[in-house]
């Protein structure tokens, strides 16, 4: 019995350590632009309800369910991303953008397992990067990943460009020397997560659709209008320091309780060996 208690507690400690690692990751990214808090969900490995009460025992009022409940420990059931909006910081920079809808995401071109695919981000801090040896420029993220437009990557000639700006519909304009009207060189491609739990994090503030949801319609295209984007601002992380510290304390207390169970189990086995 003591060995069983020790193994269950040790298994739960391993899962709690993963939760504390996730909390540490959230705290480390509390100032990361567009970062979304990761939340852990626990579930029972195996539980059993034992109904050992007689009718006489059930006569009085109870605050807990009847009988005994026997569990086999807990496991980390899922890690989900909280897509709630973070605070908005005004920068007045032309290529900084905030998506007004919390379920909307920018599309970027990234590599996964050696294959190019579409991934998603809430980080709207974009930059221009030279392409090739000519004057061509491409819109990229701060990590250099191409930002996707409605017709693929957004590339244009940077020759004679005097001004660059983006409107609230995601249209990228350039003003060239000698031209009266601005030229639209691309329009951002936006997606809406109809089933946010299908998104898995892949690092660098990016999301991708999980393998088990690859054939499901969990992302749909967004019709760009004048209310979809706020320009000249960035969305900060939605991590709440107070909530994370509270969760960390609770996880540490649970870890200490299970560690104490392992110690007590070891002491019980030592007493049994001495009696023998």
pLDDT in tens, 239-266: 999 999 999 999 899 888 888 887 877 7
Q: What is the structure's pLDDT at 73?
A: 64
Q: Are 134 and 155 contacting, i.e. CB atoms less than 8 angstroms apart?
A: no
DSSP string covering 89-114, please?
A: EE---TTBEEESSTTEEEEEEEEETT
Q: Nearest 5°: CA angle at 60, between 58 and 62?
A: 85
- Is 70 exceeded by the pLDDT of residue 61? no
Q: What is the structure's pLDDT at 267?
A: 77
Q: Are 93 and 249 contacting, i.e. CB atoms less than 8 angstroms apart?
A: no
- Is 60 exceeded by the pLDDT of residue 58? no
Residue 60 lies in a domain: no
Percentage of residues of the chain with pLDDT beyond 70: 85
- Is 60 exceeded by the pLDDT of residue 11? yes
Boundaries of domain holding 252 = 2-51+70-82+240-275
Element (H, E) at 271: helix 241-275
Please tell me whether residues 175 and 209 are part of one structural domain. yes
Residue 258 lies in a domain: yes
Please tell me whether residues 204 and 131 are part of one structural domain. yes
Q: What is the mean pLDDT of residues 54-78?
A: 62
Instruction: Quickly state the pLDDT bin for 135 (edges 50, 70, 90).
Output: confident
Please tell me whether residues 8 and 106 are part of one structural domain. no
**pLDDT tens readout for residues 147-170:** 999 989 999 988 888 889 999 999
Closest C-alpha among 152, 30, 36 to residue 105: 36
The torsion angles phi and psi of 264, rounded to 5 degrees, stand at -65, -40
Q: What is the structure's pLDDT at 55?
A: 58
Distance CA 250, CA 39 (A): 14
Q: What is the structure's pLDDT at 141?
A: 94
On average, the pLDDT of the chain sits at: 84
Element (H, E) at 227: none
Distance CA 253, CA 240 (A): 20
Looking at per-residue pLDDT, the higher value among 229 and 1 belongs to: 229
Q: How many Cβ atoms sit within 10 Å of the Cβ of residue 268?
A: 15
Q: Are 231 and 97 contacting, i.e. CB atoms less than 8 angstroms apart?
A: yes
Distance CA 98, CA 89 (A): 9
Please tell me whether residues 206 and 245 are part of one structural domain. no
Please tell me whether residues 92 and 220 are part of one structural domain. yes
* Dihedral, 200, 202, 204, 205 alpha carbons, nearest 10: 0
Sign of CA dihedral 254, 257, 263, 267: negative
Please tell me whether residues 163 and 209 are part of one structural domain. yes
**pLDDT tens readout for residues 215-226:** 778 888 888 887
Closest C-alpha among 8, 9, 6 to residue 256: 9
Q: What is the structure's pLDDT at 187?
A: 93
Please tell me whether residues 121 and 215 are part of one structural domain. yes
Q: What is the structure's pLDDT at 172?
A: 93
Please tell me whether residues 206 and 271 are part of one structural domain. no
């Amino acid at each position: 019995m003591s060995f069983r208690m020790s193994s269950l507690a040790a298994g739960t400690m391993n899962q709690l350590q993963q939760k504390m690692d996730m909390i540490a990751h959230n705290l480390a990214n509390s100032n990361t632009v567009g970062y979304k808090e990761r939340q852990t969900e626990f579930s029972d490995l195996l539980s059993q309800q034992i109904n050992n009460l007689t009718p006489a025992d059930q006569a009085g009022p109870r605050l807990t369910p009847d009988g005994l409940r026997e569990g086999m420990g807990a496991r980390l059931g899922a890690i989900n991303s909280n897509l709630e909006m973070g605070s908005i910081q005004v920068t007045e920079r032309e290529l900084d953008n905030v998506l007004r809808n919390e379920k909307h995401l920018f599309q970027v071109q990234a590599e996964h397992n050696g294959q190019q695919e579409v991934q998603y981000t809430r980080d709207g801090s974009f930059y221009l990067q030279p392409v090739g040896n000519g004057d061509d420029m491409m819109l990229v993220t701060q990590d250099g990943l191409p930002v996707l437009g409605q017709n693929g990557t957004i590339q244009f000639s940077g020759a004679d460009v005097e001004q660059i700006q983006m409107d609230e519909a995601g249209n990228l304009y350039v003003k060239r020397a000698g031209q009266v009207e601005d030229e639209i060189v691309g329009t951002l491609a936006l997606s809406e997560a109809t089933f946010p739990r299908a998104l898995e994090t892949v690092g660098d503030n990016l999301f991708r659709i999980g393998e088990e949801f690859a054939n499901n319609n969990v992302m749909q295209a967004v019709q760009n209008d004048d209310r979809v984007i706020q320009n000249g601002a960035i969305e900060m992380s939605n991590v709440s320091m107070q909530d994370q510290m509270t969760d960390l304390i609770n996880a540490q207390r649970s870890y200490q309780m299970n560690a104490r169970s392992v110690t007590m189990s070891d002491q019980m086995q030592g007493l049994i060996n001495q009696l023998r």
